Copies of this chain bind each other. A is one copy, B any other.
Amino acid sequence: MALRMSSLFVRTQKEDPVGAEVASHKLLHRAGYIRRSAPGIYTWLPLGLQVLGKIEAIVREEMARAGSQEVHFPGLLPADPYRKSGRWEAFGPDLFHLQDRKDNDYILAPTHEEVFTLLVKDLYSSYKDLPLSIYQVQTKYRDEARPRAGLLRGREFIMKDAYSFDIDDAGLDASYEAMRVAYLRAFARLGLPCLPVRATPGAMGGSGTEEFIYPSEVGEDTFVRSPGGYAANVEAVTSIVPDAIEYSLSPAARVEDTPDTPTIETLVDAANANHPREDRAWTAADTLKNVVCAITHPDGTREIIVIGLPGDREVDLDRAAGTGMLGNGEVGLEAATAEDLAAHPELVKGYIGPGLSPETQLLGLEGSSKVRFLLDPRVVDGTRWITGANEPGRHVFDLVAGRDFTSDGTIEAAQVVLGDPAPDGSGPLELARGVEIGQIFKLGRKYAESLDLKVLDQNGKATTVTMGSYGLGVTRVMACIAEEYHSETGLLWPQHLAPADVHIIAAGKGEEIAEAAETLTSELESEGVTVLLDDRGKVSPGFKFADAELIGIPTVIVVGRGLADGVVEVRNRLTDEKQDQPVAEVVASTVAAVRTAYATADGAADAAIADAAGGAAGGEVAAVADTSAL
């Protein structure tokens, strides 16, 4: 049955929602697709549900194609499995939690690894049962501190989450690859440009992981890519480590007075003026900046660490925390507070350094200070540094790594910047912003171990299962499609994702016009083409056109004055073409055009996979060709 503007539960809005900054948020609201219910929580109106249904159908088809079976878990889950996995604590305030009438703890599921694991444990017992891939399309809840941008970051949202279960690593690799292909296919069919980027597992645990990024300025995620096809989020970028330097000829380390040098810049100037280097001028890259940070461990204890990095680099604590190099992917990392510093008077603010070696080394040696000292990987043996002398107004010069000081380990805590080399040698990195629309994980055995999921292997021995986890943000994807496909005047959906295939406008008052629009509608619908008919009697053509532009169905048929000459106007807003067509021909041509659009979108998946296979030779993760031109 056609949707009819005369009765459709929609009222387009002239005003953007309060505080809206991105196009998808503004337009989905103004065109009457969604309506805010609470911060980050939305109600779906009929037009919105139509598009959402089409997106979900494509995702389901690709899951089925990848051999994944649909199940459906509750949204309200007992807290206990999340306590066992450690995520009750790890999710922190992002977790909505509550108690039932018997005071049992429950959560609103933010993601479902634990209960999927338990279900498989419940039903399966043998290696013969594996591999298994199961998924759901489900409402998730995360109490985001800053829900933003409409559907881009909500507190109640729809996710497709899949989980794979394998007996061994080779099986996990195959399951992961099948799901990776399904994601590439799904995003291609959804018309969404998408870049799989290397990522780090973060709180999820596990080994390999990739994020699928929709490149867009409205995104919150920064990622890097090189001309040669390397792509990663900044947490996953690894620095190229230079070779160690022969240091036998380096000058001896010494402490110098450096008054009035509160910044790296003033320090470098003073160094060049008063303590010049023999071979070239000192630069900021020759200073070793030591930053005091604090880690909060899962058990609540707070640890002070010092991170040393070249002075020409800014610290990126999110990157440092995301690398997992702190030894525990779930710890909190932040700058040290005044209180933290007060507890460590040996760390003299502005003048922190390893200390003049070896007798006075303060950091990085057993028995010196109790704080861990972690270094940027570029601080290799033989590098010469100007750094703090642990006394106000004084710095050490020519402190040589490996000769004069060592560390407790390395950490990637320096901000990645434009022009940094890609770790695989594929050229200088550029930084871009994007929206994470999916992430796939080789979880490995973390959840299976904490929840004791074992099956008997071929020798009858109980073996821990290895798992993968694969998330795709369905409602977020819809927002991204709206970001990618809109015009100055409204949404502009890809033909196969529009809330109806055709928008018919009865433009004018004549009875003949209304009747012709009705006839056209029923003829198209009898061919399986869905129609949104603007049959409102007392609304002017101008208002109808404006609503049509806002709602964004790309194919618009205007039944108006031309009818007297036996023609209607067919507009393709994606190509910006308008043409008059004889009424007698318009059904056939529209049916053909709509069917072609669906077929083309389906075919895009094959092209995307072919592209990805080309780039992925040698096991490398490559960018998929931009599919926006589909």
B124 pairs with A11, CB closer than 8 A? yes
B49 pairs with A141, CB closer than 8 A? no
B64 pairs with A44, CB closer than 8 A? no
Task: From A35-43, A341-349, A414-422, give the one contacting chain B.
Answer: A35-43
Measured CA separation A98–B96 after assembly (Å): 8
Report the minimal beta-carbon distance from A599 to chain B, rounded to whole angstroms. Answer: 19
A119 pairs with B70, CB closer than 8 A? no
Does A338 sit within 8 A of B, measured CB to CB?
no
A74 contact from B43, B73, B122, B143, Cβ within 8 A:
B43
Chain B residue nearest in CB terms to A104: B38
Report the minimal beta-carbon distance from A65 to chain B, rounded to whole angstroms. Answer: 8
Measured CA separation A75–B156 after assembly (Å): 8
Report the minimal beta-carbon distance from A112 to chain B, rounded to whole angstroms. Answer: 10
In chain A, positions 33-88 with a C-beta closer than 8 Å to chain B are: 35, 37-38, 41-46, 49, 64, 67, 69-78
B141 pairs with A76, CB closer than 8 A? yes
Measured CA separation A375–B497 after assembly (Å): 64
Does A115 sit within 8 A of B, measured CB to CB?
yes
Q: Which residues of B have CB within 8 Å of A38?
A: 74, 76-78, 106
A44 pairs with B69, CB closer than 8 A? no
Known A11-B123, A64-B1; judge A42-B101 contact (CB<8 A). no
Measured CA separation A100–B430 after assembly (Å): 39
Interface flags, A138-154, vs B, CB<8A=1, else 0: 01010101000000000
Does A8 sit within 8 A of B, measured CB to CB?
yes
A122 contact from B35, B69, B122, Cβ within 8 A:
B35
Measured CA separation A49–B35 after assembly (Å): 29
Measured CA separation A45–B124 after assembly (Å): 13
Q: Which residues of B have CB within 8 Å of A97?
A: 98
Q: Which residues of B have CB within 8 Å of A35?
A: 119, 122-123
Q: Which residues of B have CB within 8 Å of A23?
A: none
A75 contact from B32, B77, B101, B139, Cβ within 8 A:
B139
A43 contact from B43, B67, B73, Cβ within 8 A:
B73
A145 pairs with B96, CB closer than 8 A? no
Does A548 sit within 8 A of B, measured CB to CB?
no
A93 pairs with B101, CB closer than 8 A? yes
B74 pairs with A41, CB closer than 8 A? yes
A78 pairs with B122, CB closer than 8 A? no
Q: Which residues of B have CB within 8 Å of A124?
A: 11
A72 contact from B32, B43, B122, Cβ within 8 A:
B43
Measured CA separation A132–B46 after assembly (Å): 13
Measured CA separation A74–B115 after assembly (Å): 23
B132 pairs with A9, CB closer than 8 A? yes
Measured CA separation A383–B395 after assembly (Å): 109
Please classify the interface of chain A as helix (H, G, I), strand (E, B), loop, or mixed, using the class held by over half of its residues. mixed
Measured CA separation A7–B100 after assembly (Å): 37
A71 pairs with B98, CB closer than 8 A? no
Report the minimal beta-carbon distance from A534 to chain B, rounded to whole angstroms. Answer: 16
Measured CA separation A9–B72 after assembly (Å): 12
Does A108 sit within 8 A of B, measured CB to CB?
yes
Q: Which residues of B have CB within 8 Å of A42?
A: 74
A145 pairs with B74, CB closer than 8 A? no
Does A155 sit within 8 A of B, measured CB to CB?
yes
Report the minimal beta-carbon distance from A348 to chain B, rounded to whole angstroms. Answer: 38
Does A167 sit within 8 A of B, measured CB to CB?
no
Chain B residue nearest in CB terms to A53: B70
A37 pairs with B73, CB closer than 8 A? yes
Q: Which residues of B have CB within 8 Å of A134?
A: 9
A71 pairs with B100, CB closer than 8 A? no
A8 pairs with B69, CB closer than 8 A? yes
Q: Which residues of B have CB within 8 Å of A72?
A: 43-44, 49
Report the minimal beta-carbon distance from A328 to chain B, rounded to whole angstroms. Answer: 24
Chain B residue nearest in CB terms to A99: B98
Measured CA separation A85–B559 after assembly (Å): 47
Measured CA separation A7–B106 after assembly (Å): 32
Chain B residue nearest in CB terms to A1: B64
Chain B residue nearest in CB terms to A45: B71
Measured CA separation A141–B96 after assembly (Å): 15
Measured CA separation A9–B119 after assembly (Å): 10
Report the minimal beta-carbon distance from A8 to chain B, rounded to whole angstroms. Answer: 7
Measured CA separation A100–B132 after assembly (Å): 36
Interface flags, A474-499, vs B, CB<8A=1, else 0: 00000000000000000000000000
Measured CA separation A236–B350 after assembly (Å): 81
In chain A, positions 245-273 with a C-beta closer than 8 Å to chain B are: none
Report the minimal beta-carbon distance from A184 to chain B, rounded to whole angstroms. Answer: 20
Measured CA separation A77–B141 after assembly (Å): 12
Q: Which residues of B have CB within 8 Å of A69?
A: 7-9, 46
Report the minimal beta-carbon distance from A312 to chain B, rounded to whole angstroms. Answer: 38
B115 pairs with A37, CB closer than 8 A? yes
Q: Which residues of A contact B (CB under 8 A)?
A: 1, 7-11, 32, 35, 37-38, 41-46, 49, 64, 67, 69-78, 93-94, 96-98, 100-101, 106, 108, 115, 119, 122-124, 132, 134, 139, 141, 143, 145, 155-156
Given contacts A75-B139, A76-B155, A101-B143, 7 further A-B contacts (CB under 8 A): A37-B78, A43-B72, A43-B119, A44-B71, A46-B69, A76-B141, A139-B139
Query: 10 smallest A-B Cβ distances: which pairs?
Result: A98-B98, A44-B72, A11-B123, A93-B101, A41-B74, A9-B69, A38-B78, A46-B69, A101-B143, A74-B156
24 contacts between A and B (CB under 8 A): A9-B69, A9-B134, A10-B123, A32-B123, A35-B122, A38-B106, A41-B74, A41-B76, A41-B77, A43-B72, A43-B73, A43-B74, A43-B115, A43-B119, A44-B73, A75-B139, A96-B98, A96-B100, A97-B98, A98-B98, A98-B108, A100-B143, A100-B155, A108-B108
